[in-house]
A = this chain, B = another copy of it.
């Protein structure tokens, strides 16, 4: 199975995939990392892991539409079995969603449907929830809304800062994302309406 990982920032979830592949906990080939951000720290991680990087600089395009055309071209050339959004901070456009229907997954740092969108951990803290977590889900045309593959939860403590909560959730993200990739690649995920069954 050939996976392509999209990353916008430091890429700790990308690193977790790389580490799990190296440790043979995850039997996939990460063929490429794509980033919209030429300054993403994840680029260094990819170089260190010997994984080719494609930079498609979002700000170099006159519009989101034109950026997406290039992104779709890059994806089509790579012919991935699975596209993994691992801290990719842009919405995936309709054309790409349709071209890779049920083959794009995203990790989000909340127990969706609570706290979609940016700064989910800060939203959770401000709302005062006592249980937080992360969600791996298929990507559809709405943000953070597709069928849910896995969720893992963590406690929220009274003295948590956003940073502390982020780190606690991130540890679960690292586990959940690799687990979901393996389930997908083993053909064990069955989508039925908006429920995902694990065969």
Note all chain B residues with C-beta closer than 8 A to A126: 193-195
Note all chain B residues with C-beta closer than 8 A to A129: 111-113, 148, 151
Q: Which of A144-188 contact B (CB under 8 A)?
A: 147-153, 158
Instruction: Give the size range of A's interface with the partner.
Output: 20 to 34
Cβ contact within 8 Å between A198 and B158: yes
Cβ contact within 8 Å between B127 and A111: no
Instruction: Report the 8 A-B pairs with minimum CB-CB distance, sorted nearest first.
Output: A128-B195, A130-B151, A131-B151, A114-B114, A158-B197, A128-B194, A128-B148, A131-B153
> A residues engaging B (CB < 8 A)?
111-115, 125-131, 133, 135, 147-153, 158, 193-198
A-B CB contact pairs (8 Å), 21 listed: A111-B114, A112-B114, A113-B114, A113-B127, A125-B195, A126-B193, A126-B195, A127-B148, A127-B194, A128-B148, A128-B193, A128-B194, A128-B195, A129-B148, A129-B151, A130-B135, A130-B150, A131-B133, A131-B151, A153-B153, A158-B197
